């Protein structure tokens, strides 16, 4: 079931606390990106933009994906 793959629910106060913690860290470490932890048993279907872009010829092709015209999607 998909419920088993979801992150732990947060309270409104907990979500704001988490955002403030991330914001504080980004003030010191601007490249920091928060990634919501999933349970160890989760099987996420989405692999992330970084892995998708590694296979793409350029960022335009990566953003369009399979909808790209043949001229953009063919490797030179």
Tell whether 33 is covered by a domain: yes
CB of 5 closer than 8 Å to CB of 44: yes
Tell whether 30 is covered by a domain: yes
Tell whether 2 is covered by a domain: no
Tell whether 60 is covered by a domain: yes
pTM value is: 0.48
The mean of the pLDDT values for the chain is: 76
Domain limits for position 24: 10-73
The total number of structural domains in the chain stands at 1
Tell whether 3 is covered by a domain: no
Tell whether 16 is covered by a domain: yes
For the stretch 5-40, pLDDT in tens is 888 888 999 999 999 999 999 999 999 999 888 888
Tell whether 23 is covered by a domain: yes
Of 52, 53, 19, which Cα lies nearest the Cα of 36? Answer: 19
Tell whether 52 is covered by a domain: yes
């Amino acid at each position: 079931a998909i419920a088993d793959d979801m992150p732990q629910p947060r309270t409104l106060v907990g979500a704001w606390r988490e955002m403030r913690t991330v914001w504080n860290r980004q003030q010191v470490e601007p490249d920091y990106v928060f990634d919501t932890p999933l349970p160890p048993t989760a099987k996420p279907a989405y692999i992330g933009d970084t892995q998708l872009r590694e296979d793409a010829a350029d960022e335009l092709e990566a953003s369009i994906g399979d909808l790209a015209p043949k001229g953009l999607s063919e490797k030179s």
